[in-house]
Structure formats: C-alpha cells, structure tokens
Amino acid sequence: MIGDKKVLFSGMQATGNLTLGNYLGALRNWVTLCDEYECYYSVVDMHSITVRQDPAVLRKNARRLLMLYIAAGIDPDKSILYYQSHVSAHAELAWILNCFTYMGELNRMTQFKDKSAKHADNINAGLFTYPVLMASDILLYQADVVPVGIDQMQHLELTRDVAQRFNAIYGDVFTIPEAYIGKVGAKIMSLQDPSKKMSKSDENPNASIYLLDDADTIRRKFKRAVTDSEGVILYRDEQPGIKNLLDIYCACTGKTPDEAVREFDGCGYGVLKEAVGDAVVNVLVPLQERMKELEKDKAYIDRIIRQNAERASYTAMKTLRKVQKKVGFPERVR
Ligand code: TRP
C-alpha cells in the first residue's frame, strides 16, 4: 500500500511493434487502473536481451514503448513509467532471489520450454532465470496486484512461491502479489490464422495490426483478413475469423457481440471488414496523433524518463536494502 492505494505492477517487452492485441488486451486496461492503484509500468528491456537483439533497434523500441504508454493515456506524473534497466535494484534482487529459486521450478516453466525450442542455438542462463527477474520486478515494489495474461500466470505463481519461501525464512519482507482479475481485456487473434493469438513476433505482417500502422494499411489488412465460406455473420466458435472481427469491432466500439450481430444481419463479409477497419482507425488515429506530439518533445520525454527512474529507484531501494540486511550482507557504514 502507498497511502490508501494498493500497488500495481506490470511490464511489457520492448521487442517488436505493439499490436492491436497488446493494446485492447492489456495497455488500454492499464490506463483505467491508474486511478484506483498506485501503478508501476515498466519497459522490461532487461528481459528482452534473453534473446538476441540489435542494440539500436532495442533502444528505439524501448523509447517508443514508453511513449506509447503515455500516448495510450497513462499520466507519467502520476503513474510510474520507467525502463527496468534504469533501476539497478532489479538485477540485484534477481541475484538474491536466484538463490531462493530451485532449478526444478524453473525447469517446469512452459515459456522456457517454448523459447528454448524456438532459440535452440541460444539457450542462455538468462532465459532460464527470466521468471526470477520478473519476480524481482514485482516484489521490489511490494505490488499487491499484477495484471498479466494467461501466458504469464505460471511466472506469477512462481513469484508468489519464492516470496512466500523468503518470508517464511526471514519474516514479513515481501507482499504476496495476486493476479489482477478484473474486466479482462479482449483476446485478439491473428488476422491470417484466427486459431493463433495476434502476436508482435508474427512473421506475416498481415496477421497483425500494429499500433502505428496508418489508416490505409489498417483497412487493407482487414480486407485481407481470413474468414470462412459460411457467408453469415454470427458470433460463434465455428467461425473463428468472423468471431475475431466481431470481437475487435466490439472492443473498439463498446458494443456487445449481440448488438454487432444484429447490426450486420444480412451483410456480406466485405461490409463487416470495412466497419471493423473504420472502428480500429477511430481508436488508433488519436493515439497516433498523441504519439506524434510526444515525438516532437524530446525534452519532456527525457524528463519523464529521468524522474520516473528516480521515483522507482527510491521504492525499489527500500525493499532491496531490507532484503540485503535479512540475508546477512554487511551493513554500509558511513
Ligand atoms: N514477462 C512479461 C511478458 O513477457 C513481461 C514482464 C516482465 C512482466 N516483468 C513483469 C509482467 C512483471 C508483469 C509483471 O509479458
């Protein structure tokens, strides 16, 4: 707790370009949580180097992601938006927590298994201990709640286990975080294969809408979206392509699937695709305009980056010092 507010922590990787799926499924909801919680939103660049990155690209993407947080509507003077790598306590706590996490636990992580299969030539120790760094992110700020997607639930469970293990030995050091269960974000699927989640790492650019795609590109991608040969617009699992389009439409317009189905009753797929394209353009264009404004104001963004890293460090250091003392590191004498 900070004052009378609970603490919320979440982070996103700065790899690739954020998609409409990331926005409707996560980022947009982050904005609405800022009033109720004391929010920390990190650009987790340290996690990104568990797979090889081009340094210039990583740096550019990290800055862009931080600006997207702001463009999406998070107030950086209220919530804390920062780069993980600017707060050294993350690495320091991760080392300590590595010593409280078992190989067996990390071996069970399905994301590690998936990523090792995908990057067989670079199964590095960082990829293995990735969840420990994530636990450190969360525990440093004594977060009460963590909004995460289903794919990160296992990591959050591990965070809780490690925190409880540490507390059992040393007393009440860490707040045990809970998954944030609230209004769940829309789950947006690939436009080219509606059985797969829309992903920023998809090789096919037509599969995803990127947040910075221009209006023409957005409309074109929806025109090309894979549907089916049923020829009716119904909201059901048998028509995953249409269902996805309806989900996107509803997420952008606030309508319910029932309302949307009624609205498109008797229409062809082309009409639906056009309407979805328009709805998405209406949501993304204002965000892109804010982005353009922010890009012009380098000094403002630099100030946000500096100040928020300081604010984050202040809280993180408090936890880190406590942990260092508990495990027996010598006191600092002045
Ligand atoms: N691992 C998360 C992901 O890839 C990102 C992340 C890093 C995170 N640290 C976090 C999410 C702490 C929530 C809390 O999506």
Any atom of ligand 1 within 6 Å of the Cβ of 152: yes
Strand ranges (E), 29-117 = 37-43, 80-83
What is the phi/psi pair of residue 197, to 5°?
A: -65, 145
Atom of ligand 1 nearest to the CA of 143: 14
Q: How far is the CA of 44 from the centre of ligand 1 (A)?
A: 7
pLDDT tens across 209-261, in order? 999 999 999 999 999 999 999 999 999 999 999 999 999 999 999 999 999 99
Task: Ligand 1 pocket test: pick from 41, 146, 148 the residue with the most ligand atoms within 8 Å of its Cβ.
Answer: 148
Atom of ligand 1 nearest to the CA of 147: 13
Is the pLDDT confidence value at 4 over 90? no
Q: How far is the CA of 228 from the centre of ligand 1 (A)?
A: 35
Asked whether 81 and 303 are in contact (CB, 8 A), the reply is no
Whose CA is closest to 42, among 132, 138, 152, 130?
Answer: 138
Whose CA is closest to 102, among 171, 162, 166, 172?
Answer: 162
Q: Where exactly does CATH 3.40.50.620 map onto the chain?
A: 7-180+298-327
Task: Quickly name the fold that domain 205-293 has.
Answer: Tyrosyl-Transfer RNA Synthetase (1.10.240)
Whose CA is closest to 163, among 178, 148, 149?
Answer: 178
- At 83, the amino acid letter reads Y
What is the phi/psi pair of residue 116, to 5°?
A: -65, -35
Asked whether 12 and 192 are in contact (CB, 8 A), the reply is no
Atom of ligand 1 nearest to the CA of 131: 1
Is the pLDDT confidence value at 183 over 70? no
- At 325, the amino acid letter reads K
Token reading at 32: 């609405």
Q: Which CATH superfamily is domain 7-180+298-327 in?
A: HUPs (3.40.50.620)
Q: Where exactly does CATH 1.10.240.10 map onto the chain?
A: 205-293
List active site positions: 115, 197, 200
* pTM for the whole structure: 0.94
